[in-house]
Amino acid sequence: MEDILHQVQQGSLSVEEATERLATYENLGFAKVDHHRKRRQGFPETVFGEGKTTSQIIKIVQAMQKNKNDILITRVSKDKAHEVLQSMPNLTYDEQSQLIYSKRKGSQNGDGPFIAVLCAGTSDLRVAEEAAITAEVYGANVRRFYDVGVSGIHRLLDHIEDIQHATVSIVVAGMEGALPSVVGGLVSHPVIAVPTSVGYGANFNGLSALLTMLNSCASGISVVNIDNGYGGGYNATLIHQLAQKDT
């Protein structure tokens, strides 16, 4: 704010331009785009694409890009994403996670501190990738450990030494949701449990997995909502960044 006021004083910035920069949000009529989210929370506003029209998404993203914010849009169908990318070819769409984003700042399986993303089964990959790419877009290195569910526990144990070196683990599972409890008993770092709606009838669209994770006897487990890979990725990245400040 002081820098903007100095520019006005020096004549290098007009009052109108300063007013625009100092505005905390931009009112588009159908949406109020929060331009100061990154200053308050460290990350720019994320756009929830489900339920929005293509035109609404494009106008929101244009407002964000004007303020040089990185872009992350969740829950975007393939058809809707195709229309968005026609207007904004600089963005990338990942069909599996249903995410549109401007760039990934973190790396996949890179060296250095990392977030581990574990997925119980292939049917849970959409949610796991939503978590993994969210973390990468926000700057974290991610290592993926997929198809390591409890029905073949040896698959998890083959990777457990690598997983134990993570800063935080995101554990995604449907069915009965037992995987986070197992991982929680084997690692010394926080575990973010993400239940999915994958499962047979008594799974109740993810409710059984959610309740299992909430009732886990393993310490250090936090739980986000059903199919909320984005929430898991976001929370894990906050923990990851705090851990790097101490190193």
pLDDT of residue 160: 94
Ranking 21-30, 83-92, 202-211 by mean pLDDT, the lowest is: 21-30
CATH number corresponding to 115-245? 3.40.50.1970
- 10 Å Cβ neighbour count for 198? 23
Instruction: Report yes or no: 222 and 184 within 8 Å, Cβ to Cβ.
Output: no
Residue 164 has, within 13 A of its CA and on its CB side, a CA count of: 11
Confidence of residue 114 (pLDDT cuts 50, 70, 90): very high
* Confidence check: pLDDT of 168 > 70: yes
Where do the CATH 3.40.50.1970 domains begin and end in the chain?
Answer: 115-245
Question: Rounded to whole angstroms, how far apart are CA atoms 135 and 123?
Answer: 20
pLDDT of residue 209: 94
- Beta-sheet pairing, 32-34 with 25-27: antiparallel
Does this model's pTM top 0.75? My answer is: yes
* Confidence check: pLDDT of 23 > 70: no
**Mean pLDDT on 94-121:** 86
**Mean pLDDT on 53-69:** 85
Confidence of residue 125 (pLDDT cuts 50, 70, 90): very high
Q: What is the mean pLDDT of the chain?
A: 87
Question: Rounded to whole angstroms, how far apart are CA atoms 131 and 202?
Answer: 25
